[in-house]
Amino acid sequence: MAQAATVEPETGFQPTGDELLVIEDVKKHFPITRGIIFQKEIASVKAVDGVSFSIKPGETLGIVGESGCGKSTLARCIIRLLDATAGKIWFEGRDITKLSRANMRPVRREMTMIFQDPYASLNPRKRVGFIIAEPLEIHRLGTEKEVKTRVQELLEVVGLNPEHYNRFPHEFSGGQRQRIGVARALAVNPKLIVCDEPVSALDVSVQAQILNLLKDLQDDFGLTYVFIAHDLNVVRHISDRIMVMYLGKVAEVANRNQLYGQPKHPYTGALLSAVPIADPELGRARQAIVLEGDVPSPVNPPSGCNFHPRCPRFHEGHCDVEDPPLYPFGDGHVAACHYPLESWPMTADEMRQMSPSPTGPNNGT
């Protein structure tokens, strides 16, 4: 852990050396080019713009944010499906940011991914047995017979019938396909699984099955999850710690009870109050912070704090000038806001004081 000890990310944590994964100031910018032969870079989409966090073995870190906030890009950078533009990624104390393909291969056994769309992430022409066995064959784990036994064992672990070894993906329903995706991610006995919106394409009753399965597997195999979702209810249910992202940056990181109990960033507050509550009495009684406008374009993010054009606590001359660092609130709770929320839920009076800025929202198109 020699390298990791030198890291001092801005998130307020000090690496203690037992983190499974440390991400330091990772950026991913996609260039926008013009010209056919001589391509000139005219701008870039700052999909991820300086994100740092760490995760301990056996922990689940939830990442939430609206579409376009860079959470999926971040996931792809973590397991190096995309190469980060800047920043460092440490896995088990080893810098994997610049590893070659060949050197990366053994690391890939330790970290796998479950994708969002169970319809698009399985090859329709391959049998389920082959799909799950493929990672085992790539890493040359066992003879043909051992692989087959392992695949059938995996099918059973995720709650599918081992007899269905020879079926094609189209013969399964959405929930069952997602189970196949889970089995494939588990095949090589990884330490870390990055789940990119694993339940958002599923019906609620089936979603509960997959969430319970992921929790059981974590207990049985000591897995570590990075769990990405836009559904705050789902993230709360499964995560130990949660990171809220906005426009490629970290808005707030806190453990589950702090984040849902005392959010500090106004964006977190707005997200929480926007979630419909499945109880007509509670839901209709509460005050909601309704955000105006849309998420601005990551090509030209707003100056200063990137949330300031939509923020109900906007202070002119401060928020639009100075980019807030992550202020600590104790116990690893950090939030990037100059004027954090003092109480939660907010009273009607506080809500009224927070009138939106007269300049109006920036509705980027």
Partner 1 sequence: MALLEVKDLRTYFHTDDGVVKAVDGVEFSVEKGKTLGIVGESGSGKSVTNLTIMGLNPRRNTVTSGQALWKGQDLLTMKPAQLRDIRGSEISMIFQDPMTSLNPVHTIGKQLVEAILIHRDVSKRVARARALDLLKAVGIPRAETRIDDYPHQFSGGMRQRVMIAMALINDPDLLIADEPTTALDVTTQAQILSLMKRLQDDFGSAIIMVTHDLGVIAEIADDVVVMYAAEIVEHADVYDLFNRPQHPYTWGLMGSLPRLDADVERLTQIPGQPPSMLRPPSGCRFHPRCPYVMEICKTKNPELLPTQRDPGHLQACHLDEDTKDREAAKLKATMAEAT
Site of interaction with partner 1 (CB under 8 A) = 66-67, 173, 175-176, 203-209, 211-212, 215, 230-234, 236-238, 260, 270-284, 288, 290-294, 360-361, 363, 365
Residue with Cβ nearer partner 1 (86 or 288): 288
Q: Is 259 helix (H, G, I), strand (E, B) or coil?
A: helix
Burial of 355 (0-12, 13-18, 19+ CB in 10 A): exposed
Question: For residue 319, which amino acid is it?
Answer: C
Rounded to the nearest whole angstrom, what is the least distance from the CB of residue 80 to partner 1 in the complex?
28
CB of 135 to partner 1, least distance (A): 27
Min dist CB 283 to partner 1, Å, is 5
Smaller CB distance to partner 1: residue 83 or 216?
A: 216
| Between 28 and 177, CB nearer to partner 1 | 177
DSSP assignment, residue 275? S
Q: Measured from the CB of residue 175, what is the shortest distance to partner 1 in angstroms?
A: 6
Task: Name the minimum Å distance from CB 289 to partner 1.
Answer: 9
CB of 114 to partner 1, least distance (A): 18
Q: Cβ closer to partner 1: 192 or 234?
A: 234
Q: Could you list the beta-strand ranges (E) of the chain.
A: 21-34, 40-55, 60-64, 86-91, 94-95, 111-114, 192-196, 224-229, 241-246, 249-255, 327-328, 334-335
* 3-state SS string for 192-206: EEEEECCCCCCCHHH
Sequence-separated (6 or more) residues with CB below 8 Å from residue 338:
305, 315, 318, 319, 322, 324
In this complex, which beta carbon is closest to partner 1, that of residue 94 or of residue 237?
237
DSSP tag of 189: -
Question: Which structure tokens are listed for 86?
Answer: 């800047």
CB of 103 or CB of 173, closer to partner 1: 173
Q: How far apart are CA 273 and CA 256, in angstroms?
A: 16
